[in-house]
Amino acid sequence: MDTKLSYSLRELAQLAGVSKSTASRVISGNGYASPDVRERVLKAAEELRYKPNAVARAMVAKRTYNIGVIVFRDKLPIVSHTLYGKIVDEILMAAENLGYSIFLKTDREMSLRSMDYMLEQRVDGLILISRLRKNVIDYVKKFNIPYIMVNGSTEDPDVVHLVSNDEAGGERAAEHLYDQGHRGFFIVAGPVEHRSHSLRLSGFLNKLGRLDDRKRTIAEEDRQSGQGSDGIVDETSTKAEDASRISIVTVAESPDSGFDSGVRLMEERYEEFRSGGYTALFATNDMLALGAMKVLLENGVHVPEDVSVMGYDNTDLGGMYHPALTTVSVDAAGLGRDAVAILDRMIGGQENVPRLIEYESEVIARRSTRGEGNGTCSGIGNT
Amino acid sequence: MDTKLSYSLRELAQLAGVSKSTASRVISGNGYASPDVRERVLKAAEELRYKPNAVARAMVAKRTYNIGVIVFRDKLPIVSHTLYGKIVDEILMAAENLGYSIFLKTDREMSLRSMDYMLEQRVDGLILISRLRKNVIDYVKKFNIPYIMVNGSTEDPDVVHLVSNDEAGGERAAEHLYDQGHRGFFIVAGPVEHRSHSLRLSGFLNKLGRLDDRKRTIAEEDRQSGQGSDGIVDETSTKAEDASRISIVTVAESPDSGFDSGVRLMEERYEEFRSGGYTALFATNDMLALGAMKVLLENGVHVPEDVSVMGYDNTDLGGMYHPALTTVSVDAAGLGRDAVAILDRMIGGQENVPRLIEYESEVIARRSTRGEGNGTCSGIGNT
DNA sequence: ATGTGATGTGGGAACGGTCCCACAAAGAGG
DNA sequence: CCTCTTTGTGGGACCGTTCCCACATCACAT
């Protein structure tokens, strides 16, 4: 008896002396059952350690209450990816609250295998994280399964996707560094095929251009209105350093976006960097920033005294570094929470879901850039 | 037609003009089917985008090919936990290779809710990661489901568990620092209720004691054999510093094991540390080590010139830090791979599975300790 | 007494597969 | 030509639920 893995509703009903319909009503809570019967069934359930079989239930309900999460990646399999790990964590919590369980897969983007797996009615819906190309999307589209993209790199208007507003984030980063007086920028840009990297870069560059134009305009007005004028002048422009125009902007493209790539890139271009008059380094993600910063530190460059370094993503790692990395936050919590919530609505058949949600980013000022940044960091790493 | 979510085997058979038994044979590959029929069925499957329903299949097979992974944690939900993230990654890959899918849950250890979920025949087996107390184990035991513990903290002999040999690792850490000439040790110990932390600590302390005894013995032999003796003398003992006995060993207990705890602990005891004559700091995991090290660095202490710092776990983060953290590796890959492999055997009904496997650890020498450590690190952090 | 409605309970089809078994057709050996 | 096997196909039970519907019982009003 004890060797039996589990009991069925029929066996439970038999023990309780009722029909399986009645037992079902008591267990599932749908339908009538007299107190007497209810008690008998519950007692029997207790005795047999009865647990309803979720598989059978899913079959008739045509609903599994499972959500598939696929994290696409280039090379290494990475749940421990500092940003995606956070998003997955949030998804896990949000799913739990809504009664869903999560199937997690990591996959190279060209393989459709794990997709197939999920498509076998194993899940009610799909959350796709990160880059994935058209062929994958087209494939998923063929099957009528609700899915949603998080931090993806497609611009397909049919696809529901949640992204952070990387362009605005890039602009804020530029503004932050510019306001701190920097005029020589070295930018480490991750793969431009990535939506995130390319938007962060363009946001940064565009903002820099506009700031510079404004500066020029003010300077000209200053000249036109003559010396000793009371004309409206931007207050920062009174300082000599701020008044100067941007001296140099260099974009160094990295084919990859990991820490190692940051290291490699800076090692290769260290001499150029050292002699170029750069005072600020911006990377399109934290990992690249940290990799590059590590090389600088190892070469005796002081951060932020000699060079300010700024990343993007607000990974926990950045906050733990010495010096703590100034960065731009990505609302991983919002991304994860909403992904599940919206998918849940799609699974429920609702049509009026937003096609695109953008999450705002903000600068997290810390020690790696000039200024008053604090060195705190969020918790991570319990064993 | 296009609005239909999916087609059943019956519909497929109908289109192909065969019975569902025949269609099943073709699709599943079990049993006879003439080339003619086979082709017709496959063509129909193509047309309907037929996918076998995994739920129905699981019901009759009483086999889901799903494995549940539950990561227990104290406070924060953390897949992004640098060590567990790695283990989960490995499990994901290993599972993929063996044809399993992974249900991932993080849970506080007292809640049995996610356990219940898994127990509803949703999975073929369970992998439990990290600390979980007796009540959880007892609960799982009641249901006859194969399960395995990874890096757990129980000593229950019934439970199959995979752990790293933390005691030996602690010893190696002690040896490493001792051999580098350190005689004043400050130890940051994580929660002693954790098997890992307590064994790492005891291994470290015991080894230190033995090394010290040996040193004394050698010194006495040295004295006895008179000056200018050719007696066997440990080569390192010729150096004055090495010959000296251990001067001080302090164990600072941290109630928690995260980065923040390391920071907090060192901030509180900084004065004591500074004036105590310590030249080496060992923490029972990387996070505590990095937290403590960050405080030292911020106070102008040079690592490793003034103090050597050593952690444990070999998290990617340690290798990225500046200075790169010397640490003791944990075979996350082996742990994850074997967890799935052994569980697979248990699911298959095999009885002769090992009850306990210990994985050896080795010192990863890097820059944060005196010596020739290299500063490389493994890749992480692609976006 | 009898219809009527509320209140519980049981029977059985359905979900979408697998697989055992029956059976038809065709080829081989007497 | 008739059995006997081989080979391919179909019928249908079964897995463990849910849920619709039928039906039994009983109180109450007619």
- Please list every residue in chain A whose beta carbon sits closer than 8 Å to the beta carbon of residue B144: 2-6
Could A259 and B298 be called an inter-chain contact, meaning their C-beta atoms sit closer than 8 Å?
no
Residue in this structure with the two tokens 């082996």, named with its chain if needed: B334
- In sequence order, what are the residues at sequence separation of 6 or more whose Cβ sits closer than 8 angstroms to the Cβ of residue A299? A270, A274
Residue B161: how many other CB atoms lie within 10 Å = 25
* Amino acid (one-letter) located at B209: G
From the CA of A36 to the C1' of D28: give the distance in Å.
Answer: 24
Considering CB atoms only, which of B56, B89, B298 is closest to A77? B89
A145/A122 Cα distance (integer angstroms): 11
DSSP characters over A190-209:
--TTSHHHHHHHHHHHHHHH
For chain A, which ranges sit under pLDDT 70? 1-4, 74-80, 109-110, 215-243, 371-383
Q: What are phi and psi of A39, to 5 degrees?
A: -65, -40
Q: What are phi and psi of B291, to 5 degrees?
A: -60, -50
CB B339 within 8 A of CB B162: yes
B325/B82 Cα distance (integer angstroms): 14
Q: If 0-12 CB within 10 Å is exposed, 13-18 middle and 19+ buried, where does residue A115 land? A: buried
Could A379 and B75 be called an inter-chain contact, meaning their C-beta atoms sit closer than 8 Å?
yes
Which stretch of DSSP H or E encloses residue B334? Answer: helix B332-347
Residue B43 has pLDDT above 80, yes or no: yes
From the CA of A79 to the C1' of C25: give the distance in Å.
Answer: 58
CA-based nearest residue to B367, from A298, A208, A239: A298
Q: Which residues of A73-90 are buried (b: 16+ CB within 10 A; e: fewer)?
A: bbeebbbbbbbbbbbbbb
Considering CB atoms only, which of A101, A321, A379 is closest to B117? A101
Which 8-state DSSP code applies to residue A353?
Answer: -
Which stretch of DSSP H or E encloses residue A160? Answer: none
Could B130 and A287 be called an inter-chain contact, meaning their C-beta atoms sit closer than 8 Å?
no
Residue B239 has pLDDT above 50, yes or no: no
Considering CB atoms only, which of A74, A120, A383 is closest to B52? A120
pLDDT tens-digit profile of A11-65? 999 999 999 999 999 999 888 888 889 999 999 999 999 999 999 999 999 999 9
> The dihedral of CA A330, A336, A341, A344: what is its sign?
positive
**Closest nucleotide C1' to the C-alpha of A60:** C15
Task: Pick the residue from chain A with its C-alpha nearest to B257.
Answer: A382
What was the pLDDT predicted at A80? 61
What was the pLDDT predicted at A1? 44
**Closest nucleotide C1' to the C-alpha of B52:** C17
At a 7 A CB cut-off, the residues bordering strand C are A 17-22, 25, 31-34, 36-37, 56, 59-60, 62; B 6-10, 12, 20-21, 24-25, 27-28, 30, 50-53, 56-57, 59-61
What was the pLDDT predicted at A310? 98
DSSP characters over B351-365:
----SEEEE---EE-
Considering CB atoms only, which of B52, B145, B259 is closest to A320? B259
Angle A54-61/B54-61 helices, nearest 10 degrees?
140
Residue B383 has pLDDT above 60, yes or no: no
From the CA of B219 to the C1' of D15: give the distance in Å.
Answer: 76
What was the pLDDT predicted at B313? 94
Residue B76 has pLDDT above 70, yes or no: no
Average pLDDT, chain B: 86
**Closest nucleotide C1' to the C-alpha of A21:** C10
From the CA of A54 to the C1' of C5: give the distance in Å.
Answer: 37
Judged by average pLDDT, the poorest of B25-39, B49-63, B350-364 is B25-39
Structure tokens at B13: 């058979």
Residue B345 has pLDDT above 50, yes or no: yes
Task: Pick the residue from chain B with its C-alpha nearest to A47.
Answer: B142
Angle A9-16/A35-48 helices, nearest 10 degrees?
120
CB A87 within 8 A of CB A130: no
Helices (H), A254-354: 259-268, 270-275, 286-298, 316-320, 332-347
pLDDT tens-digit profile of B163-197? 999 999 999 999 999 999 999 999 999 999 888 99
The residue whose CA lies nearest the C1' of nucleotide D12 is B21
What was the pLDDT predicted at B180? 93
Considering CB atoms only, which of A56, A196, A293 is closest to B383? A196
What was the pLDDT predicted at A94? 94
Q: What is the dihedral of CA A28, A34, A35, A39, to 10 degrees?
A: -50
Angle B259-275/B286-298 helices, nearest 10 degrees?
50
Which stretch of DSSP H or E encloses residue B260? Answer: helix B259-275
Helices (H), A6-164: 9-16, 20-28, 35-48, 54-61, 82-98, 113-119, 134-142
The DSSP bridge partners found for residue A308 are: A280
CB B190 within 8 A of CB B83: no
CA-based nearest residue to B287, from B311, B255, B254, B253: B311
Give the model's confidence band at B247: pLDDT under 50 very low, under 70 low, under 90 confident, else very high. confident
Total beta-carbon pairs less than 8 A apart between chain A and chain B: 254
B282/B177 Cα distance (integer angstroms): 9
DSSP characters over A121-148:
TT-SEEEEES---HHHHHHHHHTT--EE
Q: Which residue has the higher pLDDT, B257 or A378?
A: B257
Residue in this structure with the two tokens 């058209």, named with its chain if needed: A134
- Please list every residue in chain B whose beta carbon sits closer than 8 Å to the beta carbon of residue A142: 49
CA-based nearest residue to B23, from B31, B34, B12, B32: B12
- Please list every residue in chain B whose beta carbon sits closer than 8 Å to the beta carbon of residue A92: 77, 79, 104-106
* Amino acid (one-letter) located at A343: L
Task: Pick the residue from chain B with its C-alpha nearest to A61.
Answer: B55
| C-alpha separations of B305 from B248, B309, B323 in Å | 19, 10, 11
- Please list every residue in chain B whose beta carbon sits closer than 8 Å to the beta carbon of residue A377: 259-260
What was the pLDDT predicted at B74? 65
Give chain B's count of helices (H) and strands (E).
14, 12
> The dihedral of CA A106, A110, A115, A116: what is its sign?
negative
Which stretch of DSSP H or E encloses residue A68? Answer: strand A66-73
Task: Pick the residue from chain A with its C-alpha nearest to B101.
Answer: A103
A36/A229 Cα distance (integer angstroms): 94
Which stretch of DSSP H or E encloses residue B240? Answer: helix B240-243
Q: Are strands A101-108 and B101-108 parallel, antiparallel or unpaired?
A: antiparallel
Residue in this structure with the two tokens 């010194």, named with its chain if needed: B219
Give the model's confidence band at B368: pLDDT under 50 very low, under 70 low, under 90 confident, else very high. very high
Could A120 and B51 be called an inter-chain contact, meaning their C-beta atoms sit closer than 8 Å?
yes
CA-based nearest residue to A318, from A258, A263, A366, A357: A366
Residue B26: how many other CB atoms lie within 10 Å = 24
- Please list every residue in chain A whose beta carbon sits closer than 8 Å to the beta carbon of residue B121: 6, 51, 53-55
